[in-house]
Structure 1
């Protein structure tokens, strides 16, 4: 297989058709089609379904697409790296950020990166946590803000902040609890509005794990919603309470639209940090953004801008 075949395949999938990909790549459509036929022949399986309205991936194509994106990115990174000075902080860095963290850090991080490293192009991918694991291990992203649950043989983890989970409900809910701290039993008394538990590592998975370690069963489910913003709106509308990090709902809480209760349990928190794949090379740009993310998160934590967080024991502000 040749690099251009990976590149061509990614372009075809992203464009949705051979003709649009050919225009983007400045390649004849017949040549592009020939390359894909040769690629499928070498792999011994069909990757694309061609139709009048464009192309669609087969199941094998979906798997190959993930690897093709990572391989193409790493080769482009390598080409860029050999053309810059050894001490230059230049290049492109892709960081994956979970939906439950992005509202707190995305804008402060982008501002800090633009100010500190103007020659670095920072891409922030807001993702579901289950997607982040695959993207990091397949080389599609350079680093990910995550909990310490990735395989240690494939990644390193640097803890940055500990974030408390709170019980959230609508103050207008007839069954709302009075302000103040609640017990785990009170927090679990009603079915909760949750993100879908389709994969590990998500907020719900972390909460259920903490409940299990405290001797409680998994919470009952009132509804499953995979959009953070829709989930908060559902709680505000009275569909049921939820448990989530305070920072994710601090605006709604400050505006009185949601009520947050601290949960009387030392297990109800998560540790967030930066994950790097041990299989991918580092660059000056990646090292610089890695350090910058740590600085930004620590600053938001110690200043109180990111509510409900604390620095891990032994971490310097």
Structure 2
């Protein structure tokens, strides 16, 4: 059973005329008749029968027609997906991202990319640090933003796009709210609001406090950036968060204060699988990211 036989059969069945079907497909009438005869012989049933000058689809032929049309539609859709996959200016880019990059950097780079690649679609998936790493390794996604960047993982290609400061977020009634900068040790007696255990931003904050000579008193936890900012706004405690999460705005009733000592920073970048080829559209986007942030660095 060949695809061309199925396509000839559909054309004849819908037009109920061999000559018209052949002309529409730019094929010789004899070729169409021959291929349909071969199809009927292989199936062992009569699909079409002649009624005067026209063709009539048999009862079993009508049943077969519906299945064949559905099958060819699926095949055609699969071919479209392959063509889309091979086109670096189209296709669907699957991106994983953490909550800390969701508000500013993710929409910024996607918007910039779509200006020159309007036919590209994006499938976005938010996840924790470990989830994003595992998803790239197991093929669930092929590209993920991360901070900090896991540079030593043997299964990943990791590229640092930029570095950013971790800053203190304080309630606006805090005694240090008017400071231009502070030492992290100045917050040793304050309650902290941080991400739960297992989140990399909690690890960064706790290790920074330990470097400053104290264990943070973690009074409350939140699983996303807005929750933590809301807790600080309510006066529940202070927090340590990436500076880029305040690019659009600083939450009401809070102030952002740079940390002078120790200097707390994180790398932010992108990871792709090391031992698996990624789609052309994703490879194109990956190169765009590197060039995009290189240009930003030049203008600093």
Bin the TM-score by the shorter chain: 0.5 to 0.7
Matched, 1:289 2:298: no
Give the aligned partner of residue 221 of structure 1.
Answer: 218
Sort the Cα spacing of 1:283 and 1:161 in 2 relative to 1 into closer, same or farther, 3 A: same
8 Å contact kept, 1:80–1:91? no
Provide Cα deviations, 1:74-123, integer angstroms capped at 9, x if missing partner. Answer: xxxx9777536966433211111110111112322232232222232122
Matches within 5 A, 1:141-152: 141-146=141-146, 147-149=148-150, 152=153
8 Å contact kept, 1:133–1:150? no
Sort the Cα spacing of 1:282 and 1:123 in 2 relative to 1 into closer, same or farther, 3 A: same
Give the aligned partner of residue 246 of structure 1.
Answer: 243
8 Å contact kept, 1:187–1:263? no
Q: CA deviation at 1:131?
A: 2.0
Give the aligned partner of residue 233 of structure 1.
Answer: 230
For residue 203 of structure 1, the aligned residue among 178, 201, 204 is 201
Provide Cα deviations, 1:254-293, integer angstroms capped at 9, x if missing partner. Answer: x763211111125400011111111321232111111233
Where 1:100 maps in the other structure, the secondary structure is helix
Provide the aligned length of Structure 1 versus Structure 2: 222
Matches within 5 A, 1:1-317: 82-83=82-83, 88-146=88-146, 147-149=148-150, 152-173=153-174, 175-197=175-197, 199=198, 202-212=200-210, 214=211, 216-253=213-250, 257-265=253-261, 267-297=263-293, 302=296, 311=297
In structure 2, runs of 5+ residues without a counterpart are: 1-77
Sort the Cα spacing of 1:272 and 1:80 in 2 relative to 1 into closer, same or farther, 3 A: farther
RMSD, aligned CA: 2.8
Give the aligned partner of residue 10 of structure 1.
Answer: none
8 Å contact kept, 2:159–2:269? yes
- Distance across 1 between alignment mates of 2:249 and 2:299: 30
- Distance across 1 between alignment mates of 2:213 and 2:80: 52
Q: CA deviation at 1:165?
A: 0.6
Provide Cα deviations, 1:174-199, integer angstroms capped at 9, x if missing partner. Answer: x44432111121133312111102x2
Point out the structure with max Rg over C-alpha: 2
Give the aligned partner of residue 26 of structure 1.
Answer: none
8 Å contact kept, 1:156–1:278? yes
Provide Cα deviations, 1:282-315, integer angstroms capped at 9, x if missing partner. Answer: 232111111233344456xx4xxxxxxxx5xxx8
Sort the Cα spacing of 1:120 and 1:269 in 2 relative to 1 into closer, same or farther, 3 A: same
- Distance across 2 between alignment mates of 1:127 and 1:167: 24
Where 2:122 maps in the other structure, the secondary structure is strand
- Distance across 2 between alignment mates of 1:109 and 1:205: 27
8 Å contact kept, 2:95–2:141? yes
Sort the Cα spacing of 1:216 and 1:129 in 2 relative to 1 into closer, same or farther, 3 A: same
- Distance across 1 between alignment mates of 2:268 and 2:187: 23
Give the aligned partner of residue 39 of structure 1.
Answer: none
In structure 1, runs of 5+ residues without a counterpart are: 1-77, 303-310
Give the aligned partner of residue 65 of structure 2.
Answer: none
Give the aligned partner of residue 62 of structure 2.
Answer: none
- Distance across 1 between alignment mates of 2:240 and 2:92: 36
